[in-house]
């Protein structure tokens, strides 16, 4: 059976910045790819109203997902309304049960903004509750018993909220798929055009590539990379389950020295 990888992020373009290279590689390895942004992008413009930009950014997400043949899932709420509450948890848990991912990719527990951190919390609890029949989800779906291994991306900017550098547990070489990652990010034209006008042509895309190069340099091995840390497996998967590393074995690097 085809295995599923599910990326759950806060806003349109978060996946493209920090996770898309790994998703493309998983797709190439035979995984079915699913993507969701919990927030709908409604605060992503200074020129148009919330409903208009949410509609624009929804289509941009759909277009970016289509580039890699990913299954796109609807957002759940407006930007800055991603709270750790029962309704959002029930709705996300329902999607987790529908997708039944083997691999779940999400934000780190510590990031520069609350939407990212709350998305991480929601994704973790939704995955934890996947097999609990006494936790009702919206829409109703039966519990699932399949294991899921959760991985946290690096924070945007590669620093925690207190400006400390963050080091991942392992790195994925995305050198071969940077062009695909760049094309996905370019589909978010509402953001690209605004930053082109304010910061220079392709600044949006170039910033993503600069971060990928910085993570590659941090690895000490790859030119371009994304960094990941596996979540504690309790309640999610077997102690030593590591399907991301196993699937992309030839493209991962796990530093053994604390000096890295």
* Whole-angstrom distance, CA of residue 172 vs CA of residue 249: 9
Q: Tell me, what's the pLDDT at 197?
A: 61
Q: At what angle do helices 189-199 and 50-67 cross, to 10 degrees?
A: 110
Strands (E), the chain: 4-9, 32-37, 71-73, 103-106, 149-153, 170-173, 225-230, 252-253
Query: For residue 258, what pLDDT is reported?
Result: 46
110-135 pLDDT per residue, tens: 999 999 999 999 999 999 999 999 99
What is the rounded distance in angstroms from the CA atom of residue 106 to the CA atom of residue 205? Answer: 21
Cβ 21 vs Cβ 60: under 8 Å: no
- pLDDT at 3 (0 to 100): 97
Provide long-range contacts, Cβ within 8 A and 24+ apart, for 43-46: 43/78, 43/79, 43/80, 44/11, 44/12, 44/79, 44/190, 44/191, 45/190, 45/194, 46/194
Segments of the chain with pLDDT less than 70: 194-202, 257-260
Q: Report helix, strand or coil for 138.
A: coil
pTM for the complete prediction? 0.95
What local confidence, expressed as pLDDT, does residue 198 receive? 57
Instruction: Give which of 90, 79, 60, 89 is closest to 186, Cα–Cα.
Output: 60
Amino acid 202: pLDDT: 66
* Per-residue pLDDT, 195: 66
Q: How many helices (H) and strands (E) does the chain have?
A: 9, 8
Q: How many CB atoms are closer than 10 A to CB 162? A: 6
DSSP percent split of the chain into helix, strand, coil, nearest 5: 45, 15, 40
Strand-pairing partners, residue 5, are: 33, 103
CA dihedral sign of residues 44, 57, 203, 112? positive
Look at residue 28 and give its three-state secondary structure.
helix
The CATH architecture one would assign to domain 4-253 is 3-Layer(aba) Sandwich (3.40)
Q: Which of 155, 129, 139, 181 has the alpha carbon at shortest distance from 21?
A: 181
């Amino acid at each position: 059976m085809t295995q599923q990888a599910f990326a759950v992020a806060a806003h349109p373009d978060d996946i493209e910045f920090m996770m898309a290279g790994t998703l493309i590689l998983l797709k190439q390895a035979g995984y079915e790819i699913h993507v969701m942004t919990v927030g709908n992008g409604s605060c992503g413009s200074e020129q148009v109203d919330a409903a208009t930009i949410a509609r624009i950014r929804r289509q941009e997400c759909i277009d970016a997902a289509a580039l890699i043949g990913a299954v796109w899932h609807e957002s759940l709420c407006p930007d800055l309304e991603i709270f750790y509450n029962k309704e959002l948890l029930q709705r996300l848990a329902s999607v987790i049960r529908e997708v039944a991912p083997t691999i779940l990719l999400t934000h780190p527990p510590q990031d520069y903004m609350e939407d990212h951190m709350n998305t991480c919390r929601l994704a973790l609890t939704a995955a934890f509750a996947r097999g609990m029949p006494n936790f009702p989800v919206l829409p109703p779906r039966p519990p699932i018993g399949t294991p899921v291994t959760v991985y946290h991306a690096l924070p945007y900017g590669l620093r925690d909220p207190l400006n400390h550098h963050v080091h991942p547990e392992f790195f994925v070489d995305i050198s071969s798929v940077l062009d695909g990652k760049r094309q996905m990010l370019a589909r978010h034209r509402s953001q690209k055009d605004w930053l082109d006008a304010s910061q220079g042509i392709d600044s949006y895309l170039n910033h993503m590539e600069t971060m990928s190069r910085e993570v590659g340099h941090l690895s000490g091995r790859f030119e371009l990379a994304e960094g990941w840390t596996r979540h504690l497996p309790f309640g999610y998967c077997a102690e030593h389950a590591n399907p991301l590393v196993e699937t992309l074995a030839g493209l991962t690097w796990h530093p053994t020295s604390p000096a890295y």
